Structure 1
Amino acid sequence: MSAPSVARAAIALRTEFFVMGVLFATWGVHVPTVKAHYGLGEQSLALAMLASGVGALGALAYAGRIVGRFGPRVIAAVMGCVSCAAIASLLLSSHYVALIAVMLVFGSFGSLFDVALNAEASEIEALTGRPLMSGFHGMFSLGGMAGAGLGSAAPALGLAAQHHLLLATGAAALAALAASRAMLPVPEKAGEEKHPLSLPRGPLLLLGVLASMGLIAEGAMYDWSVLFMKQERGSEAATAALAYASFSGAMAAGRFGGDWVRARMSGTRLMRLSGVMGAAGMALALAVPSPTVGLLGFALVGLGLSNVVPVLFSAASQTPGVSPAHGIAAVSGVGYLGMMAGPPLIGLIAEYSSLTWGLLVVVAFAGFMALSAQRAMRGR
């Protein structure tokens, strides 16, 4: 593989990660909109989020096989566009069943998009011989910040929610299609797993458990941070959207510096520090009744969690005897299995108490991630 081809592929992959970040942010800033549009309580909203997790978990059972057969380039183009279409249709119906269907589609196709991008990232890391995964994931966070920024500006620009959804997802779909043309075809290698995903064991299971802790905390920021600012702190829509932007901006900064950190710090120590910072940031946002302090707390959570997924996916992709796509899918599967319990648990607590008490789950899981890092990352 020529160096120019790899360089073009790296640029294309950064664009794809940016697109995925925009999609997640567009969903995140419209959680309050969806809640109001469908007339939902926290528990019903949490169940819709759970539908996304169920769809993701079902798709991940075959993700390694599908990505291995068709290659990341094809999967990124198709799944990226379908994911965009799902987010664009969030408000097209007023029926709760339709929302559940949309979230199932977004979860399943979005997870395949995710695995394809991470498999390509692993291949580019191998071809260049240096850590790049954190930087790729930094573009996801940058996309999240851009998507949240556009969502925050939309009301001031007089842009209706549906028009914003169409604008953001339409641009994202075009970018995903254009970038996929320069991605590398990564063929499935002989002798690697071809069966559907089952519960991983050994090193992959431990990495998956750690991923579930990080993804529960990270997913809570995507799904609940904007609603928390609007509902618990009384913020205007534009200010509330900045919760996601501050989280994603700090996460982007942490990830762009993450490859430098990974080259100088053990995975165990990095995971431990990540958990401590994530728990401390969330505790700060919940304890101090100030929108400004809340934004600072969300930024600390983003910085703390910034390198959890890149480090774990990179480790999973290097598991002996397992293809990168299968390793990433296995760790993602356990991670999503854990994350599926997060939104409904937070929503259930919020329904009967408050969202502040519900988000204490983030503090607990981030703290547990710090405590379990030594065992899960042993020898890494």
Structure 2
Amino acid sequence: MGISDRTRWASRAQFFCSGFVFATWGVHIPTVKAHYAVDEAALGLAMLAAGAGALLGLTQASRWIGRHGARRAAGFCGAIYALLLAGLLAMPAYAALLGLLAVFGIVTSVFDVSINTEAAQLELRNGKPLMSGMHGMFSLGGMVGAVTGSAALAAGLDPQRHLIGVAAAMALTIALSARWMLPREATAFATSSGNGFRLPRSTLALLGLLAALGLIAEGAIYDWSVLYLQQELGSPQQQAALAYASFSAAMALARFGGDAMRARFAPAVLLRGSALLAAASMTVVLVTDMPWLALIGFAGVGVGFANVVPILFAASARVPGVEPARGIAAVSAAAYLGFMAGPPVIGFLAQVSSLTHALYLVVAFAAALAASARYSDP
């Protein structure tokens, strides 16, 4: 069954908005840190609150999407996800911020599983790779969001006004584009599991673990790269925001070419080369004291991690005996746990030692992915 261009672009818009919202949060992490006068450990706890919320959301994501379909779940949860940005600097105290971020995590996890399930169905109906391009839109949104945030900071725009503007624009775009996603019947069966979330087993569990490793590292860059450039290398915040932009721009370009790469190279070969590039580039970031070289290094990390998730999600759709979209939903859920777990782990390690030392975890996980690449083709 074919799919219309309007449906494909609706899905691309959802991924773009997801990246834009996440980038805006990433750019303003130093703002949040200063506003609530907290240290790295408290900031890590705030990220852990979002992770705990995401875990709660994942326990119900399959049931909700199975009942209502990806379109309704994405439109509703995505709009709330965007609107919560407006509250980041409006909470009366740090404790209230933790509550907001817990809700942020719940809706973000359901939104992400929804749009990945939608993308899985589109790829299956299209008959050729689409997943890398969809994730490329997430990275493009991240790049645009980071550049926009950097420009807003450089122009002296009040951070709260910036957050409100982004929240309103992204919520409206998500809600409108959801109208042209696939109908409920196309995705409800894909994640319907009866009793909600179940941990993936055997081959799916391994693929989920690999995806979690990749997204722990990717999430660490999203949440800590701006603070790293500002705090460890002494860059002003508007320049430090370019770390996120550099990473996201390189990742977007690599993902837009990723479907062609996936068609040309075996999954294990592409995953191994990508992970080694990420490990080498992150090492450059951490050993240099020159911000411009660190920005180049972050771009290399972006290229390296760009196709990890598309490779592993595509592999989960080929597991024998597993309905393809159900496999992708299970692996995306496991991977998302990694995505949410990475930033708070980095925060706690940074408090114990330093942010530089903590970010060597990204190098370690990239190396582990390279060593395990042979398992990416079931």
* C-alpha separation in 2, matches of 1:140 and 1:217: 16
Gaps of 5+ in 2: none
Distance apart, 1:320 and its partner CA:
4.9
Distance apart, 1:187 and its partner CA:
4.2
Q: Deviations over 1:111-144 (max 9, x none)?
A: 1111111111111111111100000110000000
- Secondary structure of the residue aligned to 1:263 is helix
* C-alpha separation in 2, matches of 1:307 and 1:166: 32
Structure 2 counterpart of 1:200, which letter? P
* C-alpha separation in 1, matches of 2:228 and 2:311: 29
Q: Are residue 154 (structure 1) and residue 148 (structure 2) matched?
A: no
Distance apart, 1:251 and its partner CA:
0.3
Q: Deviations over 1:81-118 (max 9, x none)?
A: 11012122101014111111111111110111111111
Identity %: 52
Distance apart, 1:155 and its partner CA:
2.0
Shifted more, 28-37 versus 149-158: the winner is 149-158
Quick one: structure 1 residues 187 and 365, their matched pair in 2 at CA, closer, same or farther if it must change by over 3 Å? closer
Distance apart, 1:325 and its partner CA:
5.3
* C-alpha separation in 1, matches of 2:177 and 2:164: 20
Name the structure 2 match of 1:299: 299
Q: Deviations over 1:296-322 (max 9, x none)?
A: 111001000001112222222444554
Tell me, yes or no, if the aligned pair for 2:62 and 2:197 is still in contact at 8 Å: yes
- Secondary structure of the residue aligned to 2:245 is helix
Paired residues in the alignment total 376
Shifted more, 179-188 versus 257-266: the winner is 179-188
The 4+ residue runs of structure 1 with deviation greater than 6 A are none
Distance apart, 1:195 and its partner CA:
2.7
Q: Deviations over 1:150-186 (max 9, x none)?
A: 1000023231100110111111111111111111112
Name the structure 2 match of 1:222: 222
* C-alpha separation in 1, matches of 2:329 and 2:109: 9
TM, length-normalised to structure 1: 0.94
- Secondary structure of the residue aligned to 1:70 is helix
Q: Are residue 88 (structure 1) and residue 86 (structure 2) matched?
A: yes
* C-alpha separation in 2, matches of 1:223 and 1:212: 16
- Secondary structure of the residue aligned to 1:188 is helix
Shifted more, 119-128 versus 186-195: the winner is 186-195
Gaps of 5+ in 1: none
TM, length-normalised to structure 2: 0.95
Tell me, yes or no, if the aligned pair for 1:76 and 1:116 is still in contact at 8 Å: yes
Quick one: structure 1 residues 60 and 212, their matched pair in 2 at CA, closer, same or farther if it must change by over 3 Å? same
Structure 2 counterpart of 1:356, which letter? T
Q: Deviations over 1:46-96 (max 9, x none)?
A: 111111111112211221221122111111110111101212210101411
Structure 2 counterpart of 1:201, which letter? R
* C-alpha separation in 1, matches of 2:293 and 2:137: 26
Structure 2 counterpart of 1:377, which letter? S
Match runs of 1:1-380 below 5 Å: 1=1, 3=2, 6-185=4-183, 186-189=186-189, 193-320=193-320, 322-323=322-323, 326-374=326-374, 376-379=375-378
- Secondary structure of the residue aligned to 1:313 is helix
Structure 1 counterpart of 2:204, which letter? L
- Secondary structure of the residue aligned to 1:189 is helix
